[in-house]
Structure formats: structure tokens, C-alpha cells
Amino acid sequence: MKINPLLGLVLLLATACESQLDLSPVTNLTNATYYKTADDARAAVGACYSAIGNLDPNVDITTTDDAIPFLTGDANRPLLWRYDITPANTYVGLYAPAYRGINRSNIVIDRLPGIAMDETLKKRYIAEAKFLRALHYFNLVRLYGDVPLVTKETTSLEGLEVSRSPVADIYALIEADLKEAESTLPVSYPASESGRATKGAAKGILAKVYLTRAGATAASPYWAQAAAKAKEVIDLAVYNLYDNFADAFALTARGGKENIFEVQYLTDVRGHSLGRGFGVRAALIYPSGGAGIARVSASLFNAYTAADKRKPVTFITSYVYNGATTTLSITDPDPTKAVSFQKLWDKSAKTNGGEGTSIPVLRYADVLLMQAEALNEANNGPTADAYTAINKVRIRAGLTALTGLNYQQFKEAVWLERRLELAFENSRRFDLVRTGKLVEAVKADNTFNRNPVIQPFHVLLPIPQSDMDANPGLVQNPGY
């Protein structure tokens, strides 16, 4: 979702259409507005975009080995970190927001065929809605496993008790939606329309779907499909890496060459709070002071070499305020002295929650690393193209090019590169789960007396209790 070019639509929907479009097929039910004109169609698609920024980085970083939540504040965070997770934990509540977004997409898919408007534009709008629906379902299936498969707009109380469908059925819809999107969506848009889903975004997410479905299976046919789809993104020749890693997260990078799909905000107009929220606690370099939600783990911090240019971009290790320098630490238990994340910090924001940096959904660096991993797996060892892909990312980071690795060494090199390149981008948990490494990685991290009680069933989150209560047709995930 790129809010900058779609801001007019988003603000319109926030004031005029929010109640009509916030339908959830498994929770709340309200009335839907019947769309009749091309302007209505555009507004409906705008509502779809405004619903996609619902992944909480707490789930990604505190259920892995990347961060430690401070033990003061919201008690649900350390419970998540220690894997004392129940369906009542507020941070597993990513289910209902996804279904609200899915229903908005279903409204577009169901109702736009009846609107008299330009047919090419209509098809594009429907393809955008299907792309966004696929993105919601992709997050849901990776977080919860089997989930209700709802492909029609919810218009009444009937049929709200929707049972869970098998993972394979969810992926079948995801693949079908993304294939239609890649065949229909344009490669790019005029500047006035920048921020919408593109052909490259559909192909890139489909590559990640195939990578996820391959999982840890060495002989999976999905590896070759992931490699081929990543190559299609590369062959579009519209994306590239910025010369400097920091430039990928700059305010000027909105709609830029590296950001294939992103949640885009406007500074002090419609912002996020991830820089301040995950910044240094009580530090007055942020509006209202840093919230200090979580600190960076030693495991992640020490995985970067001194030469890695991504390290100072990703983390804040000291700051100056009123002429005084505060040096931050990985080990000091004082939350006001903890090394923190700064990757998505908009230093120009003047208001609490006003940061306008984009939240990446898919960057070109991710596509390169997917291609490298998939080629290594599909060919039982790295190919020349696999080396080219990973080394583009490494060289940009100031690291030496890899060469002469065997299959296992290259696999592990890609895994490490993904962790370093994509830190704080909702990638680590999904990568650990798909590679079968989540339990191992979490157990290896016992800093600050974590003592996690993680079990194999924790690769899935529990269905939130509020949604279990609202839909008697749901069955809870095993172990919860």
C-alpha cells in the first residue's frame, strides 16, 4: 500500500466509507455501499489499499531471535517472546484485520463487473483487488495455517460461521489471484498513480509464495518455479538496488526503483510510529520521547561484521541530545541505554506517530535473494546467476563477493544474508518457519533469561480468542 499517491482516496474512505467497508466475514457485520460509478470503483479500490498495513513487527522480531521486548510495559510482549502464548495475547490479533481487507477486495471483485465504466480500467481495478486479497491470505496462511476461505462479499448475517479450509486450498486461491494480477496489471504507472500494485509486485509475491511452499524440501518443484518467477521480475528491467543501502528507506525512495511494493506514508500527515516506537526508550531525539518497545538482540547485532554498511543504518548505537552523547549497549539491562532499531525512523517527523518512511512489503533485494536461494536448491548447488544475485546484495553492503561454496554453504549464506538485509521488515519469522529453523533459532537465544517454552506447534499462531468467540465454526490450532 502506498498511501502518498492514494492519500485522497484513503482520506475519503476514512471519513465517508469506513463503516460501510469494514466488513469481516468472520467477525463484525455492517452494511456495504452499493457502487454505481467509476468514482465509486476507484474509492472501493482505495479502501482495499488502506487495509493492508496490519502486520505488527512485534510478531516478527520478538517471536524470533532478532529482538527482546522490554520487560516493563505491555505484559503481552514478553509472553510472546517467551512463547507463553495464549489466544488472548493481543499481538496474535492479525486475523480480523486481514479479513476486513479481504472483504474489501471481495466487494471490488463482486461489484465492479456491474459498473458501467472503462473496461480496461475495470479489469485493472479488479486485478489490484485480487493482488491485495492474495497478500492478505498469504499472511494468514503463514501465520495461522488453515483459515476460512471467503471469496464473496459478506452482505448478511447468514453464513458467518465459516469453517477453516486446508492450506492447499488457500494457496490455490493465492496463486490464481496473483496469476491474474500479473497478467493484467501494468509494469508501471504514471507518477500520479504511483503506488498501486504492478506486474512486478504480483510476480515477486508469487515467487515468495513458491519459495514458501518449497519449504525445507530439497527436491520440491517449487524451487524451480520460485527461481523462474524471480527471474521474470529481474527481466522486467524496471527495478534495481540503490547504490547506498540507506537510500532504500529514505523519504525520497517512495515509489523508487528498489521498492517493488511498500506501505507508504506521509510525514506528519498520515504516518506510522515504528521509528519512535522501537527507538531508544525515553530519548528526546524523538517527538514525545522514544517508546522503547523492544531492544535489538545480541544474536542479530553481532551477526553483522564491522564492514557491513547495513549495520549503522539498521541500528542506533549512540545519540546526541543537548550536546551530551549517550552510548547504547547490547547487554545493559537499562532500557534507556539499549541499542535499538532505526531503519524506518523518519527523523524529519515533528509529531508522535507522524513518520513517513515506507514500510517495505517487497524490495528488489528480497527478489535477488529469493532467486539465489531457489537456484541453489533447484540445481543442487549455486549457479552463476545465483552468485550474481547474492553478490549484488553483498557488494552494496560493502562485503566481498562469495565464490567457491558448495550447496550447503551457499544455502546458509543466503539465509544469513536475508536476516541481515531484511531485518525489521517482517521477514525473519516467515523465513525461520519455512526453513524449519524457528524452534532451533529461538532456543539458541537465551539472552536476558528468555528461557522460551517453544514447541513445534508454535510455528503457527493461535486463532485469536475474540475471533474464536465470534465464529463457532472455527477450531483452534493444536497446542493452544
Domains of the chain are 3-55+94-197 (1.25.40.390)
pLDDT given at position 32: 47
pLDDT given at position 22: 35
pLDDT given at position 195: 87
Spans in the chain with pLDDT lower than 70:
1-34, 54, 156-159
pLDDT given at position 7: 33
Q: How far apart are CA 43 and CA 235, in angstroms?
A: 33
pLDDT given at position 82: 96
- The residue ranges of DSSP E strands in 290-351, in sequence order, are 294-296, 315-316, 318-321, 324-327, 340-341
Q: Residue 334 class from Cβ within 10 Å (0-12 exposed, 13-18 middle, 19+ buried)? A: exposed
Task: Report the candidate in 288, 293, 291 with the shortest Cα–Cα distance to residue 352.
Answer: 288
Q: What residues are paired with 295 via a beta bridge?
A: 68
Element (H, E) at 443: helix 438-443
pLDDT given at position 208: 98
pLDDT given at position 343: 96
**pTM of the predicted model as reported, rounded to 2 decimal places:** 0.92
pLDDT given at position 123: 98
Task: Report the candidate in 63, 58, 61, 56 with the shortest Cα–Cα distance to residue 455.
Answer: 63
Task: Report the candidate in 260, 273, 135 with the shortest Cα–Cα distance to residue 204.
Answer: 260
